Copies of this chain bind each other. A is one copy, B any other.
Amino acid sequence: MKTSVPYELFYWPAIQGRGEPVRLALEEAGAPYVDVARRPEAEGGGIPAIMKGLHAPGIAPFAPPFLRSGDLVIAHVANILAYLAPRHALVPEDEASRLHANQLQLTVTDLFAEVHDTHHPIASGLYYEDQKPEARRRTEHFVRERIPKYLGYFERALGANDGPHLFGEDVSYVDLSFFQVVAGLRYAFPRATARVLANTPKLAALAARIESRPRIAAYLASPRRMAFNEDGVFRRYPELDVT
């Protein structure tokens, strides 16, 4: 079931960040959507559009990203995706698959939070430059202990299915998020990630497969896909590319 009224996605306009798993799902679905804050302020976009949404009456979002779908305003990446996916055939219909998809997506959420904290181990409200020694120390543990643990887990999850994706024969929103994890880790920690991916061939192959899907390839080549940069979750600081 597709909606004719475009979805409205609210997320920081200059980064992939935690919004990107939602953008990838909308793009793969071919769903009409507006990336609201990337529009000019004069047309109701920009950061003020996000701020307005955060102060809406009722149960408002705690933070972006959030999605408006008709009268609904929904926050949290995994929650947004669990809402969108059944409407766009991005998750199997059976309960077990949906629960496992959500479980895996929440693990992706945890990984994103840990990646963020590699460069912000003390406080989000401080600059990276104000927490560099702690960032280095946290990153060493993240790279050496957590990247292998997470990617090894995703590899095992992929091994639970005979097909090319996580569930059955069709792509799911979690497959798309796995691609984003691989792309982000490759950007932020290229040396360690290459080494780990050599031991997780199913995950590496999945990422390549997702990247070449027609709608995803078109998205990645479009101006809608922003480049990774040092304001996002995945940041390339040479001093943090530890091995």
Contacts and interface: CB of A to CB of B under 8 A. Distances in A.
Nearest to A77: B106
Contact of A103 (B75, B106, B125, B138): B75
A76 B123 contact: no
A122 B121 contact: yes
The 3 A-B pairs with the shortest beta carbon distances in the complex, nearest first, are: A123-B141, A76-B106, A59-B100
A229 interface: no
Contacts of A60: 156-157
Given A96-B72, A117-B117, A106 B79 contact: yes
Contacts of A145: 123, 125
Choose among A60, A74, A99, A145 the residue with the greatest number of B CB atoms under 10 Å from its CB. Answer: A99
12 contacts: A62-B110, A62-B150, A71-B96, A72-B95, A72-B96, A121-B134, A122-B137, A123-B138, A123-B141, A123-B145, A125-B145, A134-B137
Contacts of A78: 78, 106
Contacts of A79: 99, 102-103, 106
A61 interface: yes
Contacts of A72: 95-96, 99
